[in-house]
Amino acid sequence: MSAAVGETVKPLANYPELRRAGGLLFVSGMSARQADGTIAGTTRVANGTAIHDVAEQLRVILRKVGETLTRNGGSFADIVDVTVFLTDMRDYRAMNDEYNIWFASDGPARTTVGVRELPHPDMVVELKVVARAPI
């Protein structure tokens, strides 16, 4: 289940969801964490094992990024740079397939980085986004 449109998920530490500087909007690292603390795109099977859907996590993250930009006067079209953090590079293709639904080849610059872990074991992808600030 994802957060309702307009519902923000509070950061776990003292940092803003977005910071304006020099004509840019810097969106803090965004994950698929929901307001209730669960991670979207995670299913637990009977034995307790977690199955992670990187595409679903990315969908939730991109919706949250869009909502954050909208609340701050920006839009998805203003995104100029995306950094993708993946805990398993075997998820690269599924992540990329979902990413390509959201962005065309002339979209933002992008870097994908494989990382050992993210703040919660059910998080398999996180984004860092920079966008143009509205004029």
Residue 39 placed within a domain: yes
- Bridge-based pairing state of the strands 79-86 and 109-114: parallel
Q: What is the CATH number of the domain that holds 69?
A: 3.30.1330.40
Cβ-count burial of 84 within 10 angstroms (0-12 exposed, 13-18 middle, 19+ buried)?
buried
Residue 55 placed within a domain: yes
Asked if 10 and 117 touch (Cβ cutoff 8 Å), the reply is: no
Residue 42 placed within a domain: yes
Q: Given this model, what pLDDT does residue 115 score?
A: 98
Largest CA-CA distance found in the chain, in angstroms, rounded? 53
Residue 9 placed within a domain: no
Of the CA atoms within 13 Å of residue 90, those in its CB half-sphere come to 2
Residue 8 placed within a domain: no
* pTM summary value: 0.90
Residue 61 placed within a domain: yes
For 73-116, the pLDDT digits (tens) are: 999 999 999 999 999 999 999 999 999 999 999 999 999 999 99
70: domain range? 18-132
For residue 60, what are the CA distances in angstroms to 9, 21, 123?
12, 26, 12
* Number of domains within the chain: 1
pLDDT confidence bin for 7, thresholds 50/70/90: low
